[in-house]
Amino acid sequence: MTAVLFDFSGTLFRIESTESWLRAVLDEAGITLPEPELSRTAKALHVAGALPGGAPPEQLPAEFAEMWAIRDQSSELHRAAYTAVARQVPLPEPALYDALYDRHMTPAAWSAYPDAPEVLRALRERGIGVGVVSNIGWDLRPVFREHGLDRYVDAYVLSYEHGVQKPDARLFTVACEALGAEPRQTLMVGDDRRADGGASALGCRVHFVDHLPADERPDGLRAVLDLVN
C-alpha cells in the first residue's frame, strides 16, 4: 500500500456526547435547566439524530428524507438538515438550534481516538500518503490542526467541497489523485460499511473500525499498520 484514506467521524475522531454538546451550548447562552430536564432534552436530541457525527435518527420524518439523503453535498444542506431534525425537540430559545450546530464544528467538540496520533505518525514515517475523505458540510481542517494531527495529513477530500458524497466512487478518485496513488495500492479506513465501502468499487482495499466512544476503542486503528505492510 502506498496510501491510506481515513474517514473522519467515528474513525479518527469522535464527537462529544449529546449531553455534553447541549450543556456546552446552554452554558454559553447563560441558560440553566434542571438536571432531569437537561437529560430528557439531550435524550430527545439523540433520538432525533440532531448531533452531527453522532447517532443517526431513530425514526426520520418523511418530510426530511430527501434533504437528509443529500445533506453532505453542501454546507447549506448540512446545516438545514441537522437544524431541521433538532427543531423536533423543544428548546428554551430558538437561537439555540443554530448554536448547537455551530458548537459541533468547534475543535473542542471532538476527541481524537487514542491511537490516531500514533498510527498517523507511523504512516508518515513509512512514507505512506494519508488522505481524509469525509461526508461533511463544513471545514474540518481546524479540528486536525487544534489536535496536532494536521501535520500527518497530505490531502482532505470533503463532500461539501465537491458536491459528491460517499459511497460515490468519484470522491475516492479525487483523493487517490490528490495523493498520486493507484486505487489498488490504497487502503480506505472507515466505520460506515455503505459509505466507506464505496471505495471498493474503485479497487481500493477497505478496512472497517467500530464507531465507539473514544475511551471504548483505544487501539482500533493499529491494525492499519499491519495492513499496509
pLDDT of residue 229: 83
Beta strands at 205-208 and 13-15: parallel, antiparallel or unpaired: unpaired
Report, as an integer, the average pLDDT of 196-221: 96
Cis peptide preceding 61, ω within 30 of 0: no
Question: What are the cell numbers at 46?
Answer: 439523540
pLDDT of residue 81: 98
Report, as an integer, the average pLDDT of 171-185: 98
- Cα(106)–Cα(142) distance, integer angstroms: 8
pTM as predicted? 0.96
Mean pLDDT of the residues in the chain: 97
Report, as an integer, the average pLDDT of 124-131: 98
pLDDT-based confidence at residue 196 (cuts at 50, 70, 90): very high
Can you give the C-alpha Rg of the chain in angstroms? 18
Cβ–Cβ < 8 Å for 39, 55: no
Q: Which has the closest alpha carbon to 205: 221, 229, 189? A: 189
pLDDT-based confidence at residue 9 (cuts at 50, 70, 90): very high
What letter represents residue 1's amino acid? M
pLDDT, tens digit (0-9, with 9 covering 90-100), for 143-158: 999 999 999 999 999 9
